[in-house]
Amino acid sequence: MAKKQWNIAVVGATGAVGSQMIECLEERKFPVGMIRFLSSSRSAGDVLEYAGKPVMVEELTRDSFEGIDIALFSAGGERSREFCPVAAAAGAVCIDNSSAWRMDPDVPLVVPEVNPHAIAQYVNKGIIANPNCSTIQMVVALKPLHDFATIRRIVVSTYQAVSGTGKKSIEELRKQVVELLNGRPAQSSVYPHQIAFNCLPQIDTFEENGYSREELKMINETRKIMEAEIGVTATAVRVPVFFGHCESVNIETVQKLTVAKARELLKKAPGCKLLDDPAKGVYPMPIHAAGQDLTLVGRIREDASVENGLNLWVVADNIRKGAATNAVQIAEILVEKYLK
């Protein structure tokens, strides 16, 4: 029997994540029947390629979702808030990469290696939320440890690549490096300060409590995905790296978790790869993560300052596993288990 095919729309198809969604659909041989690329009026008329065939980019309108089964959204929160309900009303299941729906109690927030069962809740609103890129890689690494020893507190500091802000930020870093190496001042338009050869302890805007919105996303999303009232505190930093987010993660657990046991658990954990032999210079780096979908974990060591503490270094490609691949993985489970 021929495998059923599904009509797919990619909203924000010309952006960094949208482009990667298209690539992931093709790489993973998702059963695509018809595919529709949607974007703003600025990109309408551009021609992209899928499976070796040209596909014209169409302007996103309220009539864009007729006949669509699954809509992958990566066009920002404002468009997601407006068009996800429109797409759902037309019969499409929306998988949204923005923050617009993540904390809606009726919308599942899903990382397939952690809480795939939550996908069933898509029937509430026809929407599934893709978590924040930094949250995704952290919970993939922490899920097996939590299942074994019950995490009670997480302290995380992120070192996030510029690609998390989109194509314009990648170009800004490139231009600034060239300007500075040629003795000219760097011009900043995407970020509030120079990013080349610098680190910015600000991602998104700050709230009254001193946390940035990015940090609050990690705190709130982790609890929702892990389905546990874990104490979480975060510091998010932008660094001059093109692709690959890094995280220093400190956890406190209820039960004792040794380094040896953590390594054993992570070696067989879905979506993880252990790179942990510091004496030989083996530990995760962005250059290892870029272009692939695994979450890399290393520098595992006990925290001597608390009774049941562990430190980890976690790295992943923020555009792939942190966004596009995670969304396509959700779509794969959706068509395998839920859609008819």
Q: Order the strands of the 231-238 sheet from edge to edge.
A: 231-238, 151-160, 245-253, 309-316, 295-302, 272-274
Which residues are registered as beta bridge partners of 249?
156, 312
Residue (of 20, 307, 3, 263) closest to 144 by Cα position: 263
Is there a contact between 188 and 226 (Cβ–Cβ < 8 Å)?
no
Given 24, 84, 94, 133, which residue is catalytic?
Answer: 133
Given 245, 246, 272, 288, which residue is catalytic?
Answer: 245
Catalytic annotation present for 146: no
Catalytic annotation present for 193: no
Q: How far apart are CA 126 and CA 45, in angstroms?
A: 29
Q: Which residue has the tokens 């990015």?
A: 214
CA torsion, ordered 298, 301, 305, 307, to nearest 10 deg: 110
Which spans in the chain are helix H?
16-27, 77-89, 133-149, 167-181, 213-226, 259-267, 286-289, 325-333
How many C-beta neighbours within 10 Å does residue 318 have?
A: 30
Per DSSP bridges, beta strands 151-160 and 127-129 are unpaired
Tell me the Cα Rg of the chain.
Answer: 20
Residue (of 164, 157, 239, 163) closest to 196 by Cα position: 239
Tell me which residues are annotated as active site: 133, 245
